[in-house]
Structure 1
Amino acid sequence: MELRINRRSLVALGVAGALTASSLVLLRASTSTASSHREAPLIAGDPRNDNTDVYAFVSPDKTGTVTLLANFIPFEEPNGGPNFYTFDTNSRYNIKIDNDGDAVPDVTYQWSFRNEDKRGDSTFLYNNGPVTSLDDPNLLFRQHYTLKRITAHGTRTLVADGTVAPSNAGPASMPDYATLRNQAIHRIPGGNAFAGQSDEAFFVDLRVFDLLYGGNLSEVGQDTTKGYNVHTLALQVPKDDVALKGDANRNPVIGVWSTVDKWSPRGYVQVSRLGQPLVNEVVVPASLKDAFNSLSPDKDAGIPAVVKRVTSPELPRLVEGVYGVKAPKIPREDLVEIFLTGIAKGNGPIKADLNSQSLNKDAGKLRPSEMLRLNMCIPVTKEPNRLGVLGGDPQGFPNGRRLGDDVVDIAIQAMEGAALTGRLVPALAAGDKVDSNDKPFLAQFPYIPLPSSTSVNQPVSGS
């Protein structure tokens, strides 16, 4: 299979080369950084800045827009008072868009937060009575945010003093949480913005880390994240607002990732980065996880230690050792497409142009880089397939990411070579047997379900 999208330039950048001194410097710089669902060592101690998931999809009910979501703070226990969960006021949260293929952001949406705390020395309570609106005096702690749109042409404030939807303290405190959620949706030109608590929509059996589902696929079928909440930043914007030259028809592909910049004595330092799901969990080795998340995507292809983890991944070797499913031959050009360039028609059995930057007529030379890529011109699927592209649904992951895409099963199949053959690997076809979220997704923005107020730790029947 020939990789037609700048494969030679990728090889020249060091796919098979040795680490240079400059590469080592990049990998060792800013080692106080980390990202995603506790998968990098240092971010486990900084959950407010831990970016758990990024989603990007054409809005199903407003197809002239795209919806972008970034979630933070993994494993929020709903009853985690009296100090409930908040965004970090010392950080800037970003969703970044590359629309010309150089792996440098062309549009950045940036949130910053401030606290309004009226508790003082009078009470420990988050609220001292039922909260029926965001400005209810019974709500004693709330967060506000500023949302900016940053481009090479300047900075524009989209929301000057937005109110964050509070943590769901329970039915006595917040008898109609849906109303609070709706009040926290702010209108912006051509779309909407939201910041606040949501259901943890990422569904997975995390016993995959117990020697790959117990070593015999006995540990599957349990949604580890069920019942937990996260904090969500969400945007709905016109397609042309993020497209190259403002023309989504001519330039339909965007690259999307999220970062957090935390204030330090050296100024703001990037402490979180997330594009495609599971990259830092199952692609990047432990020694590189913190450093990888300090990098900007344009650095990815210049670091052979990172690229090698794509062309010669660890997971298929582990699956072969545990389950006897033979690992595909290396180098894995199919994974270079999936992770670094975007899948393109003619390079393999998937006969569709999905998210190759080459589709943008005005784009320059592609810089291979890890990010979530979305082709905004692919129509919304009436009956989505949870396996996305591998399930015959071109609107699904890895063409962007919808809330219902089963990214764990998709990623395992991709690692095992499904994109090479165009068929699922039968031995692993059942995946982790967690095929959907426990709560239905909403029909309107921000689509992600309301947060739970019920403790994850429920009594066991008969105990």
Structure 2
Amino acid sequence: MADHLDAPGLTSPMSDPRTDITDVYAFRKPGDSSKSILVLNVNPLAPALASFFNSEAIYTINVDTDGDAIADRSFRIRFSEVEDGAQTATVHLAKGALAARLNDGGRAVIAGAPASFGSQPHITTRGEYRFFAGLRSDPFFFDLLGFINNLTFTGSDFFADKNVFGIVLEVPNSALGTSPTRLWGRTVLSKNGTLVRDDRMARAAINTVFNHGEDKNIFNSIDPDQDLTAVTAEGKTFVQSFRDSLTALGGDPNLATVLLPDLLDYDFLKPSGYLNGRRLQDDVIDISLNLVTNGGLKTDGVGPHTDYLADFPYLGQPH
């Protein structure tokens, strides 16, 4: 999987599907290279596990512009409490030192945006920004059952009829700072009045594939700038743990320091496509299988969905 249910035992981090990140995407706006599209999907199998966004959480898309794996820009999305079956969203853009802090500060670029829980998307436009949040078709494609069955793939797409909660932002490239950038998604929860790190994701299939047991929770609790030095529950570094996993898969153990820190490279001055950002149709699983097995496994036999939209919010209608 990309990052769906990435806590131990195929569960959501902190047992909250509302803040369980499934995928992160970043690509140039089709037909307008001066803008970028950022997508943060959460709530796997929606709405079966949760019907609304968490009003006590902060949903963030972080941007590193200087290569230190620390946020220099951060888009923070918060949702209102549910009232009569409805929620609204506010998006703040934090810059500089404020972006690296665990809070929801910054300048409001979107306010009072209605979330969509039906088939038709509510789109909010403010200046150069556009925003959508709500129920959509899950764009991810993968033979999950083949993965569970010792990588015996049959080409059956588990996600073909699944939904997620999508958060989609159209932003001017200037809002991302200088290019190239490195991105990651992060959800933050309020626990007893204290903000705590819940889930994180950048590249697909990192925490779900390389970490096991309690290491999944540890990985989610740290930030990318700690990836090279943090240790697993066994006491080895995550880098060494990734080396061991790559060796077991028949891959190059030196790729561990390519995969870590876990960040999604995105240069908005160049055409998009994995590994420069990630588009909905990019076959990240086939690319990753080839990479980590040194060509031993080439494909799971599953291709992109056919319900992506040509225009904002790009995610297909929910099933």
Fold conserved between structures, TM > 0.5: yes
Distance 1:188 1:108 in 2: 18
Alignment CA distance shift 1:316-1:445 (3 Å): farther
CA contact (8 A) 1:335 1:415 kept: no
CA contact (8 A) 1:283 1:313 kept: no
Give the structure 2 partner of residue 406 of structure 1: 283
SS at the partner of 2:171? Answer: strand
Q: CA deviation at 1:188?
A: 2.9
Corresponding residue to 2:68 among 91, 102, 113 = 102
Corresponding residue to 1:440 among 294, 300, 307 = 307
Give the structure 1 partner of residue 219 of structure 2: 292
Query: What letter corresponds to residue 309 of structure 1 in structure 2?
Result: S
Distance 1:307 1:221 in 2: 31
Alignment CA distance shift 1:207-1:402 (3 Å): same
Give the structure 1 partner of residue 137 of structure 2: 199
Q: CA deviation at 1:231?
A: 0.4
SS at the partner of 2:221? Answer: coil
Query: What letter corresponds to residue 312 of structure 2 in structure 1?
Result: F
CA contact (8 A) 1:108 1:151 kept: yes
Distance 1:40 1:84 in 2: 17
Give the structure 2 partner of residue 87 of structure 1: 53
CA contact (8 A) 2:43 2:50 kept: no
Give the structure 1 partner of residue 146 of structure 2: 208
Q: Which runs of 5+ in 1 are unaligned?
A: 1-34, 119-140, 169-176, 245-251, 320-326, 341-368, 380-394, 418-424, 453-463
Distance 2:238 2:128 in 1: 38
Alignment CA distance shift 1:374-1:313 (3 Å): farther
Give the structure 1 partner of residue 175 of structure 2: 241
Q: As a proportion of its length, which structure holds more strand?
A: 2
SS at the partner of 1:95? Answer: strand
Largest Rg, 1 or 2: 1
Distance 2:82 2:16 in 1: 22
2:96 aligned with 1:152: yes
Corresponding residue to 2:25 among 52, 55, 58 = 55
Give the structure 2 partner of residue 111 of structure 1: 77
Query: What letter corresponds to residue 50 of structure 1 in structure 2?
Result: D
Query: What letter corresponds to residue 163 of structure 1 in structure 2?
Result: P
Count of aligned pairs between the two proteins: 303
Query: What letter corresponds to residue 445 of structure 1 in structure 2?
Result: F
Corresponding residue to 2:36 among 62, 66, 71 = 66
Q: Which runs of 5+ in 2 are unaligned?
A: 99-105, 232-236
Query: What letter corresponds to residue 74 of structure 1 in structure 2?
Result: P
SS at the partner of 1:404? Answer: coil
Give the structure 2 partner of residue 377 of structure 1: 269
Query: What letter corresponds to residue 440 of structure 1 in structure 2?
Result: D
Give the structure 2 partner of residue 457 of structure 1: none
Query: What letter corresponds to residue 200 of structure 1 in structure 2?
Result: D
TM-score between both structures, scaled by the size of structure 1:
0.62
RMSD: 2.1
CA contact (8 A) 2:184 2:264 kept: yes
Q: CA deviation at 1:285?
A: 2.7
Q: Write the deviation string for residues 214-238 of structure 1: whole angstroms up to 9, x where unpaired.
A: xxx3x41111012111001111111
Q: Write the deviation string for residues 129-160 of structure 1: whole angstroms up to 9, x where unpaired.
A: xxxxxxxxxxxx11111111111387211122
Give the structure 2 partner of residue 223 of structure 1: 157
CA contact (8 A) 1:262 1:270 kept: yes
Distance 1:37 1:146 in 2: 25
Alignment CA distance shift 1:56-1:291 (3 Å): same
Question: Share of identical aligned residues, percent?
Answer: 28
2:2 aligned with 1:38: no
Give the structure 2 partner of residue 187 of structure 1: 125
Distance 2:142 2:217 in 1: 23
Query: What letter corresponds to residue 308 of structure 1 in structure 2?
Result: Q
TM-score between both structures, scaled by the size of structure 2:
0.88
Distance 1:195 1:231 in 2: 7
Distance 1:116 1:396 in 2: 37
Q: CA deviation at 1:416?
A: 1.7
Give the structure 2 partner of residue 127 of structure 1: none
Give the structure 1 partner of residue 113 of structure 2: 162
Q: Write the deviation string for residues 271-312 of structure 1: whole angstroms up to 9, x where unpaired.
A: 1111111100112232311011011111111225211133x1
Distance 2:52 2:202 in 1: 22
SS at the partner of 1:292? Answer: helix
CA contact (8 A) 1:282 1:315 kept: no
Give the structure 2 partner of residue 268 of structure 1: 195
Q: As a proportion of its length, which structure holds more helix?
A: 1
Distance 1:290 1:264 in 2: 16
Distance 1:446 1:316 in 2: 40
Give the structure 2 partner of residue 460 of structure 1: none
Alignment CA distance shift 1:316-1:202 (3 Å): farther
Distance 1:287 1:402 in 2: 31
Dislocated runs of 4+, deviation >4 Å: none
CA contact (8 A) 2:110 2:129 kept: no
Give the structure 2 partner of residue 428 of structure 1: 297
